[in-house]
Amino acid sequence: MSNEILLLSGPNLDLLGSRNPEVYGTQTLDEHVEHFRQLAVEAGFSVRHVQSNFEGDLIEAVHAARDDAVAVVINAGALTHSSWALADALDTFDGVKIEVHLSNPAAREPFRHLSTLAGSVNGSIAGFGATSYELALDAVRRLTEKS
């Protein structure tokens, strides 16, 4: 088993930096990923990033990670609120799983209050902007040290 973290980014996250900057900030997805990758390397991890606007691609990435990764950090975007299939895929992954959101879904529209993924992950980090990814990495580091 490697020390790889699968970083998953769901639909519309490829538009970060220009889409609703008042909600999601001005950093692009590439900037978030590069910062996460730098911190992960310093902590002894490698990172494989997959972004897709298609649910099946994210599910396939989780399936592939079952043999390669120690953790999945996932910002599923709107699929957070609707994808039972992605939750089922996460259930098959035995490593650490952290759900991440730049904004705080619980403080937004009512349809965003449900996370179909919450029961399939170790924990959720939301509402801290770019710092959410740093907190997720810290959670991965701590949880993988325990196992």
Which sequence positions are flagged as catalytic? 24, 101
What letter would DSSP give residue 111? Answer: G
Which two structure tokens, joined as six digits, stand for 44?
A: 């002894």
Please, what's the b/e burial string for 54-65 (b: 16 or more CB within 10 A of its CB; e: otherwise)? Answer: ebeebbebbeeb
- Do residues 36 and 60 lie in contact, with contact meaning Cβ atoms separated by under 8 Å? no
- Cβ neighbours of 127 (radius 10 Å): 15
At residue 8, φ and ψ (nearest 5 deg) are -105, 135
- Do residues 146 and 120 lie in contact, with contact meaning Cβ atoms separated by under 8 Å? no
